Structure 1
Amino acid sequence: MNKMIMAIALGFVLAGTASANVFDRVKVEAGETLFRTECHRCHAVDATDPSYGPLLDGILGRKAGTYEGYEFSEALKGAGFVWTAGALRAWMEENDAFVPGTKMRHVGITDPTVQDFIIEYLSTLAK
């Protein structure tokens, strides 16, 4: 699916019809689609949407392990970092290597383009 999204975005650029705003919108929309297929089974971005994991609305800039009302692992509560784009990339790729002892288990998202699109989408969600 990410190849299709990249092809659409590249088509806009090559056709010369993509302004920065259009390309940014394509990245955000691609990120939302990828979020729904890769992350949404456990995470939500809206408090009215029940999820197993912590809500990801406003994740960028939030201190790790601090979303109120969610029972984080001791490892994540004590990690002491703030969620940045780089931290989210490392987490998506291999969360247990990034924060050993975390309770979250998932298949790693190793494609940097997919990571970038998901982060682009998450960056539009302000708490």
Structure 2
Amino acid sequence: MRAVIFVAVLATIAAGKARAQDAAAGEKVFGMCKACHQIGENAKSAVGPVLNGVIGRKAGSVAGYSYSDANKDSGITWDEATFREYIRDPKAKVPGTKMIYAGLKDEQKTNDLVAFLRQFDADGKKR
């Protein structure tokens, strides 16, 4: 009986820690990205490229943005797993990138950021 209660308590704790992706929370996380990136229908490249439709896009492919050779030549197509690895430590994933961000280590914030980014198609329209 104690084992059943113990397992139930552990399951409750784990469920509280693992919450689903939250696009609204991801928009708040994106606040730190805004220093360099834009997203949405009127987005323009700035210090960093526009992030419209980033999940599913080939790295180094936003027209008019001056990418590092490392990024252009990386061969990456941004799927969720690759983006997560990159955003955790950009310089480790793409040595030579000019992105100067130290990385997002919090898995939940990364989940939320991905949910936020996934809302925007390549034209910046919300899906």
TM-score tier, shorter chain, comes to 0.7 to 0.9
State the partner residue of 1:55.
50
Q: Could you tell me how far 1:109 is from its partner in structure 2?
A: 0.5
Instruction: State the TM-score, normalized to the length of structure 2.
Output: 0.75
Task: Give per-residue Cα distances to partners, 1:43-98, cap 9 Å, x unaligned.
Answer: 00036345321000110100011111100000110011100111111111110000
Counterpart Cα distance in 2 of 1:73 and 1:113 = 29
Indicate the residue corresponding to 2:60 in structure 1: 65
Which letter does structure 2 place at the counterpart of 1:48? N
Q: Secondary structure at the match of 1:40?
A: helix
Letter paired with 1:61 = G
Gaps of 5+ in 2: 1-15, 123-127
User: Which of 37, 42, 57 is 1:43 aligned to?
Assistant: 37
* % identical equivalent positions: 33
Listed as ranges, the gaps of 5+ residues in structure 1 are: 1-9, 14-22
Task: Tell which has more relative contact order, 1 or 2 (C-alpha 8 A, sep 6+).
Answer: 2
| 2:88 paired residue number | 93
Deviation at residue 108 of structure 1 after TM alignment: 1.2
Q: Is the CA contact (8 Å cut-off) linking 2:59 and 2:76 kept in structure 1?
A: yes
Which structure dedicates a bigger proportion of its chain to helix?
Answer: 1
Q: Counterpart of 1:74 in structure 2: which amino acid? A: D
What is the alpha-carbon root mean square deviation over aligned residues? 1.7
TM-score under structure 1 length normalisation? 0.75
Equivalent residue pairs, number: 104
